[in-house]
Chain A
Amino acid sequence: MNRDRFERWLRNIYETQEEEISCTECFDLMSRFVELETSGQDAAAKLPPVKQHLNQCPACRTEYETLRDLRRLEEEGRMPSSDDLQDLIH
């Protein structure tokens, strides 16, 4: 596990850019990024700074993955109700 983490960290160092957007800027663009993906477009190509930030920032990446998965459920007509979701809390 630690070797994996070290490798991930090395990769992050390797992929560092001189200029990277902030978490606020990423948050601002995240819904557009997810919407592009949902519609089958290449979001990473259209918004490369967002992709770069998501690769580097674990907090923003977690938020993005949650938003992406939620949006996918919605798009597929499988959005659960609050009651259904509450049943998952135990």
Chain B
Amino acid sequence: MILMANTRTNEEWLEDLRASGATQEAAIADLRDFLLRAVLFFFSRNLGDFERLGRNEILQLAEDCAQDALIAVINHLSDFRGDSKFTTWAYKFAINIALMTARRERWKGISLDQLSSADGDSFMEWIMRDKSSEVTPDQSAMQREIRENIWEVIEQDLTDKQRRVLIMMVFNEVPMDEVARRLDTNRNAIYKMLHDARRKLKNRLQARGFDVGEILALFTVQR
């Protein structure tokens, strides 16, 4: 069954949520339903993160996420600027909480120790695993030189923490929020670390005479 669209205006949402009594209760109940739908929508697209859970456990997690999102929305009402529909703005909180919950569930009990370190050989192996592309000997030699230089930058120019985060996220696809949680930090800090690492890589590769655009063309041309 598809329900009627949300009929409150932005102003009505804010007014009703800030009211008291039955008006506020009705608005909160409606908002919670919207948030639950956003959580379930996310969960339904990411069921692989919940392989260890039964259906009822997943649905309970969804309820918990919706409740947490409701609290977050109510606490941030004064941040709403009206540059979107109120429900679009509110859905963000639900989706954010749903994402973190799903990834935490997926990675529960998995040690990241082996996923946070690598050496040059395993890096090369990681790149070379797919050998379906055809390259000339010259192109192959140039590719190897570029890979060796990239590894050198990673090994010599990044901080230990930048290297660890880069290996976890880029090489081993550990989700960002999981990396943040394990390192007892937040998403912003992880993004900044990766940004700093990317800038170093871009600048150093260019300083060593490799135009990154040319590198990209070399690695993507053979299909």
Contacts and interface: CB of A to CB of B under 8 A. Distances in A.
Contact of A89 (B37, B47, B188): B47
Interface in A3-37: 3-7, 9-14, 16, 18, 20, 22-24, 27-28, 30-32, 34-35
B96 A10 contact: no
A45 interface: no
B43 interface: yes
Contacts of B62: 89
A59 B177 contact: yes
Given A57-B176, A71-B91, A89-B40, A32 B84 contact: yes
B1 A31 contact: no
Contact of B84 (A13, A35, A86): A35
* A interface: dominant SS: helix
Q: How many A residues touch the partner, as a band?
A: 35 or more
Contacts of B129: 1-3
B33 interface: yes
A74 B95 contact: no
Interface in B22-77: 33, 36-38, 40-45, 47, 55, 58-59, 62
B21 to A, nearest CB: 25
Interface string A63-90: 1001101110010011111111110111
Given A7-B219, A32-B84, A79 B37 contact: yes
Interface stretch (B11-19, B112-120, B155-163, B196-204): B196-204
Given A34-B88, A35-B88, A11 B216 contact: yes
A41 interface: no
Nearest to A63: B95
Contact of B130 (A3, A30, A74): A3
8 contacts: A1-B129, A2-B130, A23-B191, A74-B87, A84-B1, A89-B47, A89-B55, A89-B59
The 4 closest A-B pairs by CB, nearest first: A85-B40, A31-B84, A35-B84, A88-B44
Interface of A: 1-7, 9-14, 16, 18, 20, 22-24, 27-28, 30-32, 34-35, 56-59, 62-63, 66-67, 69-71, 74, 77-86, 88-90
